[in-house]
Amino acid sequence: MRFIDQVRIVVRAGRGGDGLVGWRREKFVPDGGPAGGDGGKGGDVVFVADDHLTTLLDLKFRQHFAAESGRPGGPNKMTGRSGNDLRIRVPVGTTVFFEALAGEPGERPPWLADNVDEELDQIGAIAWTDDGTDIPEPVRVQKSGPIRRAQAEKDRRESELEPGTQLGDLTFHGQELVVAHGGLGGRGNVHFRSSTNRSPDFAEPGVPGEAYWLRLELKLLADVGIVGFPNVGKSTFIRAISRARPKVADYPFTTLVPQLGVVALAGERSLVVADVPGLIHGASEGRGLGLDFLRHLERTRVLLHLLSPDPTPGRDPMADLKALEKELAQYGTMFEGRPRVVALNKIDTPEGQEAMGPLRKALRAQGIPLFPVSARTGEGVPELLEALWRRVDMVRRGAASGPSPVSQS
């Protein structure tokens, strides 16, 4: 399955059903009064977080999503059926942003209020006639009525939205977020009978539902995020500790999409580990693949700096560690104080044995422990996983230590 972590879609809540112009029709009651019912409420558009989903792919190829509109009012004061809500499943970790207002998909019927003078429209509801042929003169209705309040509330919400406004963050399974509210149904003519008008031949139109362009971003939720430059062995490491099967090869950017692995530890403990594409210098400014995937590290509880003993010429593991910290700092402040664990991979090679001593000495001077490991042979991996568990458990319990460039285990 393709991994899609950002999409733009249109959501359109249901329109409220129109009120009915209807009359009481009974035997021996030739001049029955108004009896038109109210329209039903339009359906909402609701996002539901589902931890069985791992990508936004399903939304990419179906860009428009619309809830059901409310039904018109019925005779004998019957209220129309409300429209069904549209519930859209999204992965846990999805953040929803407002992009723009979406226009109406089609023109409204000519007998509804949109084609009436704006000044007149502001003082009352314009409704449709019994036969749909003429537009009556504007009528003054109760200014504090439900339709007026519903329209004012819709206008207020839309006026407060700016491009990029975050509407919500779905962080746990089953969480729901209403992203577009359905319109209120219009009142039938039964509501407009008065001492001066015993036979009102008008009713209210329903309020349009909210319609928005939205941007959805998926940020993976993991206990541990593996940070490293290309070809340090991140994919091999996550294959060794979990059932995740990312592609492994001897060239940069083997990992092209984020990978999640679940690590089973003794005592029915587990860790969720995320492997994201390798960073390069300037990743926080958009170079390489780093910028698109750095956001997947934002929600990890602990960062694992995985270093290689054989970086490119002119670099060494300690320089790589400093470069990684620089990229994280330039990306944003959300990584400040995030616990870190440092590991040196490939210690089963001569280069690994040679690099281990100087790196450990340099880190010890800063009070930072080093975990030498071999993802290929498994050497040192159990000790590293236990250190990661301790750090994650501290964060889970809210007992993580204060800010530091690289936290101790």
Binding residues for Mg(2+): 235, 255
Between the alpha carbon of residue 374 and those of residues 224, 319, 333, the distances in Å are 18, 20, 32
Backbone φ, ψ for residue 176 (5° rounding):
-120, 145
Between the alpha carbon of residue 15 and those of residues 108, 146, 225, 280, the distances in Å are 11, 15, 44, 49
Binding-site positions: 228-235, 253-257, 275-278, 345-348, 374-376
Residue 100 burial by Cβ neighbours in a 10 Å radius (0-12, 13-18, 19+): middle
- CA 323, 326, 330, 332 dihedral sign is positive
> What gap in Å lies between CA 175 and CA 47, rounded to an integer?
8
Coil, strand or helix at 363 = helix
For the sheet with 45-50, list strands across it: 86-91, 45-50, 176-180
Binding-site positions for GTP: 228-235, 253-257, 275-278, 345-348, 374-376
> What gap in Å lies between CA 366 and CA 351, rounded to an integer?
23
State the DSSP string of 224-267: EEEE--TTSSHHHHHHHHSS------SSTT---S-EEEEEEETT
Amino acid present at 315: R
Instruction: Locate 302 and state its tokens.
Output: 């602990």
